[in-house]
Structure 1
Amino acid sequence: MANTQYPESYYAASANAVPPRPVLQDDVETDVCVIGAGYTGLSSALFLLEHGFRVTVLEAAKVGFGASGRNGGQIVNSYSRDIDVIERTVGPKQAQLLGEMAFEGGRIIRERVARYNIQCNLKDGGVFAALSAKQMGHLESQKRLWERFGHTQLELMDQRRIREVVGCDQYVGGMLDMSGGHIHPLNLALGEAAAVESLGGTIYEQSPAVRIERGANPVVHTPQGKVRARFIIVAGNAYLGNLVPELAAKSMPCGTQVITTEPLGDELAKALLPQDYCVEDCNYLLDYYRLTADKRLIFGGGVVYGARDPANIEAIIRPKMLKAFPQLKDVKIDYAWTGNFLLTLSRLPQVGRLGDNIYYSQGCSGHGVTYTHLAGKVLAEALRGQAERFDAFADLPHYPFPGGQLLRTPFAALGAWYYGLRDKYGL
């Protein structure tokens, strides 16, 4: 059986205490059965409970076991493909709706943290760091684009200014987004799960959905029980497996690697990131990093296509960290882990409905922290009969990977090699 305990990550080691949750062992009836207790599922459940639905959540492992509890912990606005790309793909009307939603996920996170008093070390401020004049030009146009959609908490930074917020001499400039920021991602998920339960929702752990009986009154089967529901929300993302074959063909799980240093002490931590902002660079295969509440550096990057667990994560990521911060050469790495996110060919999320009553959202393509919170709201709206925003996502065109599931990994890896060369030579 697959391992269903948290990986040995910094997040698991510093997680808030939570009560054990039951395994589903009988037949349950509910309004909505949510499959997956990550951000998409928890966000959906919360919005539905706030509008009076009865909600049952099934989780194959533990709350936040997948990407929601393993990611870099950064609140990054918009989507993995920005609004201008969406506009070229679908035209101005649909792009306007998606553009208006591009900054909503971060607001939802802050509102949840405040309303339910979630202890997850929320900090404001995220930096996009440019390694070349070309990347800086992209940030300038990104600022104009985001401001067109009413997003104004942005500051362009020249080389002198970015040195004030990042103690790294690689960057020629950057952009600061004060509505970006960072969180302890697993504690956010655990806090949202507690909020779900406080509103009368039920979460079953170690209760994987093994089969969906479709029809007018769908039934989700687990190894020891079943849930009858009016609606189902499929929110398994990269950990869904082949439960819904239609969804597997158009997406690919990918792994990303993260390391965490030993505590650095106040002085060294302040030298690296004086304002405690989080940072991601502008490369296609990007690096991202931030400080934790106890002054460690979390540093992530790299993509493994097809989601194999690489043998030595530290060997992949530590050189990237030392390139940015050579002063950390003698610092010990206390944690190293990998987690999967779901990639789509278009890099845009896939949202839709199967039949009349099975809804899904998946494929955040690395932009999951904010998007999943928005997705929960949009899915809940659709179940309540307000489908305009749901339809704006559902109408995005999606295609299967070339060569099907067999060839999707080599094709994507080839693409990554090409973009890696572009990053390296500044093309």
Structure 2
Amino acid sequence: MSTHEASYYAATAKALVDRPQLVGDHESDICIIGGGFTGTSAALHLAEAGYQVTLLEAHKIGWGASGRNGGQICQGHNMGHEEMVKQVGKEAADLLWQTSVDSVTLVKDLVKQYQIDCDLSDGVLHVANKPKHAQEIRDAVAYKRDVLGYQGVSFLNADEVTQKLGTDRYHGGEWYAEGAHLHPLNFALGLAKAAEGHGAKLYENSAVIDYQAGEKPVVRTAKGQVTCRYILFACNGYLGHLNRPAARKIMPINNFIIATEPLPQEVIGRINPDNIAIADSKFVVNYYRLSADGRMLWGGGENYSPRFPKDIAGFVKKHMIETYPELDRYRIDYAWGGTLAITLNRMPHIARQDENIFVAHGYSGHGVALATFAGAVFAKAVQGSLETVDAFEKLPMRDFPGGTLLRWPGLVAGMLYYSMLDRLP
């Protein structure tokens, strides 16, 4: 039987329960494949609406990226609004921008409505590693405020960033007062509990081995099957070869996090007195925040192979002490990795494969908010409201060159090039 991978989040998880394995033949309105944010959110929203929902998770709820990530939720997409207008037109671009705002609101509303104990705290700061990045951030903030009318973001100069973070490493920042951060595994477990409270049936250790499309699709596991009306593929970086057309749209990549021992209050008061989340402007992003018990949670470094580094702590810690040398003296208590999925355009792939088969994945680093929102989008689509799905489908979503087998060499070459640019002045 599966257990959660060792991490700070797994060690501090709440509402952990063992759910049954799917055995025998079942019927359901909806079959959701994947028990992360997308799947549990979809299960909750559909069960709330009165549908019979069956969710199949290969391991444990929140076992994948949903239970291992940096826990940051913030407004905005990887693709800017101006570029979206060029690609899909202003109306669809406006809707897509609004999804990024609404997704943060949704997460906060769900935490409040279902009293999910997940250490939710406000404030996200995107910082500029280079002077040119600071100017780009300043321009982006002005665009969001003046053109999009979004007033929840403001520009901080280098001195203001230093006051918040106790380091003069950065040249400015994009401050989202309405952004937030949370304990992602506890959030996923809370969504699952809420879904079950509305009657959804969630199964663990129930990996899907194949499916049959049609008017009444059939989803099969090793010991059972579900006949349903709709399927949602919500597997993200763990999709594998289960759905090859969808798998060609995404690339699984690995990212890593460390957690220090709890830091003294005087250190916390210097480096993050306001308890905010931070992400920098590097292509291979460093992202960090404090845990509820005062640990530095630092994410940084990627690799693109099926294996994690042997020494994850050493792989990540070097990035942390470049910014905060004083943290070198503190013990690393946890170090772990997870697999997320990116798309070529770094926008989520949310689409219909058939009238009753949907996919939602490829959140490209924005999964806490957008994956939760995608679950709600799928629920609305089942009920006949397809406006948001249609907007995402307008985005050009090309396959990775080389398909699922030969895409790795090109990705590695590209990532190494951009990683090299990170090291230039």
TM range (shorter): over 0.9
Name the stretch that deviates more: 69-78 or 333-342.
69-78
The CA distance in 2 between the partners of 1:17 and 1:266, in whole Å, is 29
- Equivalent position SS for 2:257: strand
- Equivalent position SS for 2:252: strand
Choose which of 70, 77, 92 in structure 2 pairs with 1:79: 77
The CA distance in 1 between the partners of 2:187 and 2:238, in whole Å, is 19
- Equivalent position SS for 1:243: coil
- The aligned counterpart of 1:301 is 300
- Equivalent position SS for 1:335: strand
State how 1:305-324 maps to structure 2 within 5 Å.
305-324=304-323
Q: Name the count of aligned residue pairs.
A: 424
**Gaps spanning 5+ residues in structure 2: where?**
none
The CA distance in 2 between the partners of 1:38 and 1:74, in whole Å, is 15
- The aligned counterpart of 2:48 is 50
2:133 partner amino acid: Q
- The aligned counterpart of 2:399 is 400
2:195 partner amino acid: V
CA deviations over 1:297-317 (Å, ceiling 9, x no partner): 000011212443122111211
State how 1:200-215 maps to structure 2 within 5 Å.
200-215=199-214
- The aligned counterpart of 1:344 is 343
- The aligned counterpart of 1:197 is 196
- Equivalent position SS for 2:330: coil
State how 1:285-296 maps to structure 2 within 5 Å.
285-296=284-295
Asked if residue 144 in structure 1 is aligned to residue 142 in structure 2, the reply is yes
User: 1:139, CA displacement in angstroms?
Assistant: 1.0
> Using a 3 Å threshold, how does the CA distance of structure 1 residues 144 and 307 change in structure 2: closer, same or farther?
farther
| TM-score (normalizing by structure 1) | 0.96
Asked if residue 363 in structure 1 is aligned to residue 362 in structure 2, the reply is yes
- The aligned counterpart of 2:245 is 246
State how 1:330-341 maps to structure 2 within 5 Å.
330-341=329-340
Asked if residue 107 in structure 1 is aligned to residue 105 in structure 2, the reply is yes
Name the stretch that deviates more: 187-196 or 4-13.
4-13
User: 1:251, CA displacement in angstroms?
Assistant: 1.3
8 A Cα contact 2:45 2:195, kept in partner: no
- The aligned counterpart of 2:390 is 391
- Equivalent position SS for 1:329: helix
RMSD (CA atoms): 1.3
The CA distance in 1 between the partners of 2:80 and 2:337, in whole Å, is 26
1:108 partner amino acid: L
- The aligned counterpart of 2:68 is 70
User: 1:18, CA displacement in angstroms?
Assistant: 2.4
CA deviations over 1:118-156 (Å, ceiling 9, x no partner): 000000000111122211111112212322333211221
Name the stretch that deviates more: 137-146 or 56-65.
137-146
1:269 partner amino acid: I
1:18 partner amino acid: L
CA deviations over 1:35-89 (Å, ceiling 9, x no partner): 1110011111111122111111111000000100000111122222232222222
User: 1:189, CA displacement in angstroms?
Assistant: 0.3
The CA distance in 1 between the partners of 2:365 and 2:306, in whole Å, is 13
Choose which of 31, 34, 38 in structure 2 pairs with 1:33: 31
1:119 partner amino acid: D
CA deviations over 1:194-223 (Å, ceiling 9, x no partner): 000111111001011111111110111111
- Equivalent position SS for 1:88: helix
User: 1:398, CA displacement in angstroms?
Assistant: 1.3
**Gaps spanning 5+ residues in structure 1: where?**
none
The CA distance in 2 between the partners of 1:141 and 1:371, in whole Å, is 24
8 A Cα contact 1:253 1:306, kept in partner: no
User: 1:233, CA displacement in angstroms?
Assistant: 0.8
Name the stretch that deviates more: 131-140 or 181-190.
131-140
Moved >4 Å (runs of 4+): none
User: 1:171, CA displacement in angstroms?
Assistant: 0.8
8 A Cα contact 2:44 2:196, kept in partner: no
CA deviations over 1:303-344 (Å, ceiling 9, x no partner): 212443122111211110000100011111011111000111
The CA distance in 1 between the partners of 2:172 and 2:396, in whole Å, is 35
| TM-score (normalizing by structure 2) | 0.97
1:302 partner amino acid: G
The CA distance in 2 between the partners of 1:403 and 1:222, in whole Å, is 29
8 A Cα contact 2:77 2:97, kept in partner: no
The CA distance in 1 between the partners of 2:16 and 2:150, in whole Å, is 36
8 A Cα contact 2:15 2:190, kept in partner: no
